[in-house]
């Protein structure tokens, strides 16, 4: 597969959120050729049909990997609970060499508004519940499911964004959510020094989320900037960015908790 060393991540148990499309789907495809037979993968998102098809396609190509899926809304307590239950049923944690928890699911929120338009606390609560709280609760619950032991390397990935460290007009919720998530995972890195924590910023991707950025961003300059990136072919293919993320994990040369960008 594109010159990648085969099975180089060893026996892996992996949970990917937001796996139904975009970067998460590409991460699933890029991960499989890098893991050993006996590895297991749990795909989580809301869209059952997309997860089912992806799981079937992966199983056809990689029959030696156990691929399971859970259709769950991570913006709800029940959704998080069902994702954790899916991970418990996945098994494999006792024999795996690595556990990989990839917090990829995310949403832009209302990007057609300015800061001063946000007056409804419930709207914010809903946004942060999915984009921040669920990433914390899911990760902490999964770390309890996959307890540390000698010979097991645990990795937690936070799919981040430039918006975590730079303000963008019209993106109040998105920037705040990404910044909060990143700090949250930096605390994990400080507390649990045996866990490798990575905040990966995938770059501007050529996918559904970018289309929303181009069409809905309230600030005209920013909208134009992303439209021009699309026009001039500067958006990044999801599989290319997914590959880069797995290369970073595999090379293991980052400081735990750090923000690593696609362009680094
Ligand atoms: P997409 O919008 O293409 O995919 C988002 C994924 O999250 C989908 O699989 C979606 O599945 C899932 N999702 C959305 N809401 C929920 C929910 N409530 N519960 C469970 N799953 C949910 O986005 P990307 O692939 O681009 O985004 C992946 C990550 O990359 C995000 O964290 C994003 O912020 C980040 N990122 C993206 C950039 C870009 O240019 N696209 C740039 C920088 C960072 P479903 O609808 O089936 O639930």
CATH number reported for the structural domain that contains residue 98 in this entry: 3.40.50.720
pLDDT at 41: 98
Is there an atom of ligand 1 within 6 Å of 22 CB?
A: yes
In a domain, residue 187? The reply is yes
Instruction: Name the pTM for this structure.
Output: 0.97
What CA–CA distances, in Å, run from 240 to 198, 246, 263?
Answer: 18, 10, 12
Residue nearest to ligand 1 atom 31, measured at CA: 106
In a domain, residue 229? The reply is no
Tens of pLDDT, residue by residue over 238-251, are 999 999 999 999 99
pLDDT at 94 > cutoff 90? no
Q: Which range (1-15, 86-100, 140-154) has the least confidence?
A: 1-15
User: What mean pLDDT is predicted for residues 100-127?
Assistant: 97
3-state secondary structure of 6: coil
pLDDT at 211 > cutoff 70? yes
pLDDT at 91 > cutoff 80? no
Confidence of residue 184 (pLDDT cuts 50, 70, 90): very high
Could you give the number of structural domains in the chain?
1
In a domain, residue 117? The reply is yes
Question: Which residues lie across from 201 on neighbouring strands?
Answer: 261
pLDDT at 95 > cutoff 90? no
Tens of pLDDT, residue by residue over 47-82, are 999 999 999 999 999 999 999 999 999 999 999 999
- CB of 43 closer than 8 Å to CB of 16: yes
- The closest-lying atom of ligand 1 relative to the alpha carbon of residue 46 is 48
What CA–CA distances, in Å, run from 216 to 94, 170, 224?
Answer: 46, 10, 11
CA of 257 to the centre of ligand 1 (A): 21
In a domain, residue 1? The reply is no
- The closest-lying atom of ligand 1 relative to the alpha carbon of residue 204 is 40
Tens of pLDDT, residue by residue over 97-109, are 999 999 999 999 9
Question: Which of 209, 222, 235, 236 best tests ligand 1's pocket when mutated (most atoms within 8 Å of CB)?
Answer: 209
Residue nearest to ligand 1 atom 21, measured at CA: 45
Residue nearest to ligand 1 atom 48, measured at CA: 46
CA of 209 to the centre of ligand 1 (A): 7
In a domain, residue 7? The reply is no
% of the chain residues with pLDDT over 90: 94
Domain membership of residue 141 as a residue range: 12-202+238-261
In a domain, residue 17? The reply is yes
- The closest-lying atom of ligand 1 relative to the alpha carbon of residue 76 is 18
CA of 116 to the centre of ligand 1 (A): 26
What CA–CA distances, in Å, run from 113 to 126, 216, 218, 219, 237?
Answer: 16, 9, 6, 9, 28
In a domain, residue 169? The reply is yes
- CB of 74 closer than 8 Å to CB of 177: no
Tens of pLDDT, residue by residue over 3-38, are 445 679 999 999 999 999 999 999 999 999 999 999
3-state secondary structure of 10: coil
In a domain, residue 164? The reply is yes
Tens of pLDDT, residue by residue over 186-203, are 999 999 999 999 999 999
Query: Mean pLDDT score of the chain, rounded to an integer?
Result: 95
pLDDT at 6: 66
Is there an atom of ligand 1 within 6 Å of 18 CB?
A: yes
Residues 6+ apart with CB under 8 A from 213: 108, 111, 223, 226
């Amino acid at each position: 597969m594109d010159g990648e060393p085969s099975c180089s991540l060893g026996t892996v148990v992996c949970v990917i959120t937001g796996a139904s499309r975009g970067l998460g789907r590409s991460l699933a495809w890029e991960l499989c050729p890098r893991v050993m037979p006996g590895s297991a993968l749990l795909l989580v998102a809301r869209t059952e049909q997309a997860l089912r098809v992806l799981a079937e396609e992966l199983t056809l190509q990689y029959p030696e990997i156990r691929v399971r899926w859970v259709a769950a809304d991570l913006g709800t307590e029940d959704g998080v609970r069902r994702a954790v239950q899916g991970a418990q049923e996945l098994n494999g944690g006792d024999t795996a060499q690595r556990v990989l928890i990839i917090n990829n699911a995310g949403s832009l929120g209302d990007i057609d508004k300015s800061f001063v338009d946000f007056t409804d606390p419930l709207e914010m609560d809903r946004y942060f519940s999915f984009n921040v709280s669920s990433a914390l609760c899911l990760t902490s619950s999964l770390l309890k499911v996959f307890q540390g032991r000698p010979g097991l390397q645990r990795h937690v990935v936070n799919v981040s964004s430039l918006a975590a460290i730079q303000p963008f007009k019209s993106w109040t919720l998105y920037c705040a959510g990404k910044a909060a998530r990143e700090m949250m995972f930096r605390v994990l890195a400080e507390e649990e020094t045996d866990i490798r924590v990575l905040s990966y910023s995938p770059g501007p991707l050529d996918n559904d989320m970018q289309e929303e950025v181009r069409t809905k961003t309230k600030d005209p300059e920013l909208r134009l900037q992303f439209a021009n990136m699309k026009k001039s072919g500067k958006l990044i293919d999801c599989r290319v960015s997914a590959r880069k993320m797995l290369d970073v994990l595999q090379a293991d040369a980052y400081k735990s908790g750090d923000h690593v960008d696609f362009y680094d």
